Chains A and B, each alone.
Chain A
């Protein structure tokens, strides 16, 4: 192929192998030979898995889907960094040219009580789904699609809401936080809807329920280290957490109790 590099890398992988959630798990050294610099990190693992399968070994299990950085399926720790050394990048969008020939690379799954390991580098992130089901949505009537500009939204609010809506729920924030806190994820979802007119109806209930669910899943609290935001492939800002804290206080103060006859 024209314009592609012919350089091949030989790498030493130290991969976390764990058969199941009940298994102890340990690091296993696996060599990755003849890796193209143009390969993505996941393609490199595909290559390693092919050779493992040929040898009759169990391939390394890892989550992946779109491989274009928008689905949130992939992600593990590469040398202690969630999604690897590059900022604003998912593992699938990380390329092997970020590494040098002869490098040792340590691969570990996300580590958090709320994210139990399923196998090798795969973890169960359904805790995030439960946080979303607790309130990360708006209730709308079905019918025709509304006019695009039927509901005016100020441009700065739209931009801010969009920046928060880009969260793909990969879990890098939890993985990189020393407290395994899900505050960046939850705050991105709270911020996204709190900034838009469509989100106002359920604003109070949403933040109260989502925070309660987040706490009950066993995530830690925020120490404002900023590790989450630095690791976030979508670069969600730490100030989203400040907004969620504000929203939670406001919701506590504004909460209205349902009374008999409200139809609830």
Chain B
């Protein structure tokens, strides 16, 4: 009985939004932690490599990766399914776009677009770094991967830096609408908290995007 009701709940349009929200929450938390951790670029090569070595030693990394990959698959899967349903619900567009006080934010209208770009970015980002050139270094007598060297090399390429800048701005955009929507989809928003959640959501997007952007831009201009 429980399984049947859980299944029918998750198959409703609202159930899919719950899944989008929960998986979005996991990724929103991850990108913030990832951005904050990468700030070690500003501390130095050894600190950065030691941090990377610490994260990849032990079983934690496998659990984290499994959760992230699964969340991403569910998030993208639900997004595709919902987008198909939504396009079918409104196949004809209006001749004039709504404007003035009845207009809406650009970010909220274009989630599928930046979502797709971000997905491509995640794949290219993994190919470049996780599965990229394996340099070795020794810090405090421990042999570890020299991710710092790879990162400095990659961010000397203007095309690469440009692609990062575009993708990260779009990520900020995606988060500025997405984080607030998590609260809406999970039913955690009310009239009292809604305005604060909206502002916090925008701030979250700006902080994550600005934090991430500072890294390739700093490396490109100052750490070559």
| A positions within 8 Å CB-CB of B | 14, 27, 77, 79-82, 85, 87, 106, 108, 111-114, 176-181, 183, 211-212, 214-215, 218-227, 230-231, 237-239, 241-249, 252, 255, 257
Contact A252/B86 with A81-B102, A178-B109 known, Cβ cut-off 8 Å: no
Residue contact B86 to A220, C-beta cutoff 8 Å: yes
Count B-side interface residues using an 8 Å CB cutoff: 49
Residues of A within 8 A of B105 (CB): 225-226
Fill in one digit per residue for B101-112: 1 if any A CB lies within 8 Å of its CB, else 0. Answer: 111110011010
Residues of B within 8 A of A180 (CB): 86, 89-90
Fill in one digit per residue for B144-161: 1 if any A CB lies within 8 Å of its CB, else 0. Answer: 000000000000000000
Residue contact B13 to A220, C-beta cutoff 8 Å: yes
Which residues of chain B from 151 to 193 have a CB within 8 Å of any chain A CB?
177, 180-181, 183-191
CA distance A247 to B111 in the complex (A): 26
Residue contact A242 to B188, C-beta cutoff 8 Å: yes
Cβ-based interface call for B44 (8 A): no
Q: In the assembled complex, how far is the CB of residue A14 from the closest CB belonging to chain B, in whole angstroms?
A: 8
CA distance A39 to B6 in the complex (A): 54
Residues of A within 8 A of B94 (CB): 77, 80, 108, 111
| Prevailing SS type, chain A contact patch | mixed
Which 6 pairs show the lowest CB-CB distances between chains A and B? A246-B187, A80-B96, A220-B89, A179-B86, A221-B13, A220-B86
Cβ-based interface call for B14 (8 A): yes
Point out the residue from A82, A218, A226 that lies within 8 Å of B104, measured CB to CB.
A226
| Prevailing SS type, chain B contact patch | helix
Residue contact B85 to A80, C-beta cutoff 8 Å: no
Cβ-based interface call for B63 (8 A): no
CA distance A226 to B108 in the complex (A): 9
Residues of B within 8 A of A77 (CB): 94, 96
Contact A178/B86 with A224-B185, A237-B191 known, Cβ cut-off 8 Å: yes
Residue contact B97 to A241, C-beta cutoff 8 Å: no
Contact A224/B12 with A81-B102, A113-B88, A230-B102 known, Cβ cut-off 8 Å: no
Residues of B within 8 A of A220 (CB): 13, 82, 85-86, 88-90
